[in-house]
Chains A and B, each alone.
Chain A
Amino acid sequence: MKRHWKGQWLLRLYPPAWRERYADEFAALLGERPASPRDSFDIVLGALDARLHTDAVTGRLVPMIKRLRSSEIGIFCASVLFGVAWLGVWQMRDPLPVWENAVRLHPEIRTAFVAVEVAGLVVFLAVLAGGLPLLLSAIKQAFAARRWSALALWLVPFLAAAALAGYGALASASWTAKQSAAPDAPLTPLAVALQLGLLALVALAIGGSTLAVALAVARGEPSARVLRFALAPAAVVTLAIGLGFVATVILWALTLGEAPELSSPFTMTIVVALMAAGTGVALVALRRGLRARAAPLAAAT
């Protein structure tokens, strides 16, 4: 017991960055194999080495992994912002006859719209490509460690989608039945309430799911390899968000000038603002991730 206590005390000789990275596992090792006088001397030498080589010794890998992880969470949140804005662009097609007439007269509007559509598809696929390994790794770890709360966080998006689908089906059925019976009648208070409720539920589902996924990744311990792999799809997401933003700005300018009936200036302003925010967040997060990935190699050379 006395030797065990001495070994743990010697840990304090190591620099803070080193302790942040290795203290837990080092203490666990000393718990299993208490330090002999020879080992205690070895620990002192190790602490001196760590203090003399603070750049060479990897106190940075934990910050590197944390920066990679926060970078990818940032890009995920940016993709959600982009997705919400993308839905705002998509609603320009409603009502369809007005849309078809506008793009027949101004085909460049359709071109810009398709560019935004493609950007959205690329963002979705790249998020899947980068997110699935993270998801599978996190589920595997959660099962192995029996961390059921971590698993619960990953279930939130699926539960939110199910709740949304159920409410949407009920609200839509009620509203459609009434509209079919009297197409020209104004919306009843119930129909208005149902639609507002649906909007609120959508906002809650998107916000709650984004937060749950971000927390699940932040609390999990994906390996450095999975995080490094996810950086490539994250870069693709960022590029697609940027291009989608540019296409949306062009679309905005075109609809304002040539087909204002397609969307209200207020709605498009919100859409562009959301996309700008998403682009900004993605760029900052990607830069952070690329610098974090490069840091250990730079330190080694």
Chain B
Amino acid sequence: MSTGFSDLGRFSDPSLLILASLAGGPKHGYAMMEDIEAMTGTHLGPGTLYGALARLEQRGLIEPLPAEDRRRPYRITGVGTATLREQLTNLGEFAAVGLQRLGAVRG
């Protein structure tokens, strides 16, 4: 079972980045920001990060872990993993079609 991103509005891209970051293991907010910057070059502001975290948590796609010295790590859930897989698969198919068309244009 997966949950779509259609109702996340401007938080859909940050949510996808967060899920991808957490797919590599539990992280707290700062570690997520650093990982996303290293992974994609995208800088997520703290307000955007926590707006997305709150929405993902509410939908059960991630869950909080016990805080360690005020820093609270998050973990991706099973539903979150399924959702991420679905979103990335769709993006992959879209990228493949787009590149194919570009190839046809150049050719």
Contact = CB atoms under 8 A, between A and B. Distances in A.
Interface in B43-67: 45-51, 53-55, 57-60, 63-67
A125 to B, nearest CB: 27
Contacts of A41: 45
B47 A33 contact: no
B71 interface: yes
26 contacts: A7-B46, A18-B54, A21-B54, A25-B29, A25-B72, A26-B46, A26-B50, A28-B28, A28-B69, A28-B70, A29-B29, A29-B71, A33-B46, A35-B46, A41-B45, A44-B47, A46-B46, A46-B48, A49-B51, A50-B51, A57-B54, A57-B55, A223-B64, A223-B65, A225-B77, A299-B58
Contacts of A21: 54
B58 A46 contact: no
Nearest to A38: B45
A68 to B, nearest CB: 13
Interface residues of A, number: 41
Contacts, number: 100
Given A33-B33, A56-B58, A296-B58, A28 B45 contact: no
Contact of B51 (A46, A225, A299): A46
B30 interface: yes
A18 B51 CA distance: 10
B68 A145 contact: yes
Nearest to B66: A221
Interface in A10-64: 18, 21-22, 24-30, 32-33, 35, 38-39, 41-47, 49-50, 56-58, 60-61
